[in-house]
Structures are given as structure tokens and as C-alpha cells.
């Protein structure tokens, strides 16, 4: 998601516009992945983490892509790390809510 946003955003673009575009790219990718994963993992189980990841990572990666000092590698790794953190947070949130 971060890599796709980075590829689509022009480094000369205004940061705010890049953020909007990144959010849109994240949402589109999220919807495609959701449709692919939903029959196997459950609708809500994929919707919630993917949606948060799509918005958060798409927007952040696109904004960072407008900064010349940030490399593609850093954006992609940052996106992967953020994605992992969101997924783990949702997992533990689910454990907490379903056991309470």
C-alpha cells in the first residue's frame, strides 16, 4: 500500500493533495483486498484492519513521498511496520473485547 502510494504520487505535488490521493489509493487497494480475502477470513475480520491500514498508510506514505529526503525503502518499510502494528492492535483489541 505504501509502495503503491509512493509510486503514484509525484514528489513535486502539494503535500495536502498527496495526502488526499494517498488516502484514495489506500481505500481502493483496501476494497480490492477485502473482496479477495473476505470469503476466507470473514468480512469484519478483514474490513477493520484493512480499512485503518488503507487510510493511515496510504495517506502517510503519500505525504512522505513529497519529501525529497525520504527514500522508497524507508516509506515501504515504514508502511509494513505500521500495517503490522495496526493488525496486532486490532488482534489484541478483539481479544480484550470478546473476553470481557
Residues that bind another protein (CB under 8 A): 27, 31, 37-48, 51-52, 55, 90, 93-94, 97-98, 100
In terms of CB distance, is 40 or 68 closer to another protein?
40
Tell me how far, at minimum, the Cβ of 66 lies from another protein, in Å.
24
Tell me how far, at minimum, the Cβ of 19 lies from another protein, in Å.
16
CB within 8 A of 73, min separation 6: which ones?
none
In terms of CB distance, is 27 or 80 closer to another protein?
27
Which of the 8 DSSP states describes residue 67? S
**SS3 of 11, please?**
coil
In terms of CB distance, is 36 or 74 closer to another protein?
36
Number of other CB atoms surrounding residue 22 within 10 Å: 30
Q: Give the Cα separation of 100 and 93 in Å (integer).
A: 11
Tell me how far, at minimum, the Cβ of 80 lies from another protein, in Å.
20
Place of cell 522508497: 72
Amino acid at each position: 500500500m505504501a509502495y503503491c502510494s509512493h509510486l503514484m504520487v509525484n514528489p513535486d505535488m502539494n503535500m495536502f493533495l498527496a495526502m488526499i490521493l494517498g488516502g484514495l489509493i489506500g481505500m481502493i487497494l483496501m476494497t480490492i483486498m477485502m473482496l479477495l480475502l473476505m470469503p476466507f477470513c470473514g468480512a469484519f475480520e478483514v474490513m477493520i484492519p484493512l480499512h485503518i491500514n488503507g487510510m493511515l498508510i496510504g495517506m502517510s506514505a503519500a505525504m512522505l513521498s513529497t519529501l525529497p529526503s525520504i527514500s522508497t525503502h524507508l516509506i515501504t518499510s515504514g508502511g509494513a511496520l505500521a500495517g503490522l502494528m495496526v493488525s496486532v492492535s486490532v488482534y489484541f483489541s478483539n481479544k480484550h473485547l470478546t473476553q470481557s
